[in-house]
Each structure stands twice: as C-alpha cells, then as structure tokens.
Amino acid sequence: MQPGDELIVADNASSDATVEIVADVAPAAILVQNGANLGFAGGANHGVQAANGDLIVLLNPDTVVAPGWAEAIRRPLDAGYGWDAWQALVTMDDGSRVNTDGGVVHFTGISWAGNAGRPLDSEAMSPREIAFASGACLAVRREIWERLGGMPANFFMYCEDVDLSLRVWLAGGRVGIEPSAQVNHDYEFAGRGTRWRMLERNRWATIVRTYPGPLLALVLPSLLVTELGVLAVAASSGWGRQKVAAIGDVMRSLPLFLRERRTVQHTRTVPAAEVARHMTAELSSEYLGPLARNPVLRATLQGYWGIVRALLGRR
C-alpha cells in the first residue's frame, strides 16, 4: 500500500470472528459494520461511503492479491488509459487457471466470466477493453462511481458488476482489464439453492435498467424465446423452481426496475449501437453446456444479432 491508501472492511453482520480478526491483523483498517447482511452490492456501497480516495477498488473476501498487485491495479489511472472502470486478471486454483480475463455479455443478458477454467497462459496479456469488469477485483474512478450511483443495492449479489459496467458504457465511459494486476479467487461455481434464482432475477433487472430503448425493442423477441429455452434447461437441470421463482421476482419488481431505468437512461450519452458493440451473439462459455455448441442455434443467433446491429445503425 502507498501512503494515503485506505483499507476498508465492510462487515455484513458476520457471525464469525471477522471483526476480531480485522482488529488483530489490520488495526489501521476502517471497519464498516453494516448491522445486517446487505449482500455484496449493499456492503460495497456502504464501504465506499467511508472512502476518501479518487480510486475505489473492490475486493472479494475470498481473493488473495499477487505481489505487485497494488501498483499494477493503479496503472490504468496513473498511465492515462482513459478507462473509468477495470478489473485485475482474476485466477483460480492457486493461479494455475483463469477465473476471468474479462466478462462477456450476450445480447440476451446472459453473462459469464471470460475464458473461465482455461490454463493461465505463460505469455503476458495486454490491457484491453472488455464488456464488463469482475466484481472480484473491480477498480472504479470515484467520480464515475458517484455519478452513476454505485452498485444496484437491491441486487444483493450477482450481476451487479455487469449492471455497473454497462452503465459506464452508457455514460460514454470505458471498461477494461489490466492483466499485470492479478488476484487469485477461491472460486467454485455451484448453481444450487437460490443462486440461479438471483442470477436470473438480476439478469432481467440489468436488461430492463440498462438496455437503451432501441436495443431493448429489437432484442425483445429473442428475449422471450430465450425465456422458453432457459425454462426448459432449468427444468431438465433441477433448478426449474428457482427459475419460476425468479420470474415471479421480476414481475413483482418490474415497477421498481422501470423507475430505476428512467434514472439510468438519463445518464446515456452514446448511441445504442455503441452499447451493443460490447455484446456478443456467441454462447462461448463452457458452463453453458451442449446448448451453446448447437450449430443451428449458433447460426440463428449470429444472424439475428447481425440484423439487430444493422438496424441500430447509429441510434
């Protein structure tokens, strides 16, 4: 850490010894005790309120930073990359494999960690723009954080980094990855319990809140078809009840999402086509199963997305 850096720990009413451990291991840290489990988004928002710096960096509690991380995560700001938000290269399995080297957003709102599970390439990667930056290690310029209102607190967890990144693009900003900064994430995807419910609820919340009107109108037919497909996959994979519950959540929360949409869309400074440029028609995640490898589906999605992009023009 450099002089003036702040270490802030946001505690969501933990029932373990977190408070005592922080006091023992990092006595200079600012401890924000939220008094309730606000989820990742709410906890992050409260933690940032206690910060004073120009650069906000969020770290998941199950991450370990690599040597040189602190200097590297500042590089996009210090070197003038022109980015508003960025992530480190997030690894897994003690740094042997990629957890995410940049988030991917499908035009149906399905999103995933880029190249998750692949062996970590020995060749150095270059900084580049990405669709969304992982919340596992997310750096955001304070000015843009405050202008956009931080994380969507009612998400609780999942997709909040997608939502925030798309709002950065909407506002004319840029999102990237600085791979010289590395953190290892104690990550295991196990889509059980309420996880699928929250992922699906927040996928729809992100679509409703962040998609510009022309883009939303053009992809709406594919969104409705996708719902049928996701329902079928959910039923066959054992999380059908969670998907149905997510649909109910979305319907109940739709008035709220629409109110938030007005606020979010008010920040848009770029054409819908510019936002669409950062999305894909490729279902390239290995976690999406055989459906993503279906050649007919892949061709159909590519064709549909090509038409959408052409119709958007510069709107």
Q: Where are the domains of the chain?
A: 1-37, 52-185, 195-312
Looking at per-residue pLDDT, the higher value among 75 and 16 belongs to 75
Q: At what angle do helices 39-49 and 160-170 cross, to 10 degrees?
A: 60
pLDDT tens for 245-283 read: 999 999 999 999 999 999 999 999 999 999 999 999 988
The structure tokens listed for 91 are 């690894």
148-164 tens-digit pLDDT: 999 999 999 999 999 99
Phi first, then psi: give them for residue 5, nearest 5 degrees: -70, 150
One-letter amino acid of 178:
E
Q: What is the pLDDT of residue 254?
A: 97
Mean pLDDT of 54-71: 95
Which has the higher per-residue pLDDT, 193 or 218?
218
Would the pLDDT of 191 be above 60?
A: no
52-185 fold: Spore Coat Polysaccharide Biosynthesis Protein SpsA; Chain A (3.90.550)
| pLDDT for the residue 288 | 66
Instruction: Please report the pLDDT score of residue 124 as a whole number.
Output: 65
E-strand stretches of the chain = 8-11, 30-33, 55-59, 63-65, 85-92, 97-100, 103-105, 111-113, 128-129, 137-141, 175-185
- List the structure tokens of 123: 């060749």
Most confident of 202-206, 279-283, 286-290: 202-206
What's the Cα-to-Cα distance from 144 to each of 56, 261, 276, rounded to whole Å? 10, 18, 21
What's the pLDDT tens digit per position in 13-48?
Answer: 998 888 899 889 888 899 999 989 999 999 999 999
Q: Rounded mean pLDDT of the chain?
A: 92
pTM: 0.94
- Overall average pLDDT of the 169-184 stretch: 97
State the CB neighbour count (10 A cutoff) for residue 45: 20
Query: Which residue pairs from 74-80 have beta carbons closer than 8 angstroms and sit at least 24 positions apart in sequence?
Result: 75/127, 75/178, 75/180, 75/181, 76/127, 76/139, 76/176, 76/178, 77/139, 77/141
The tokens of 131 are what? 């669709």
Taking residues 285-297, report their average pLDDT. Answer: 71
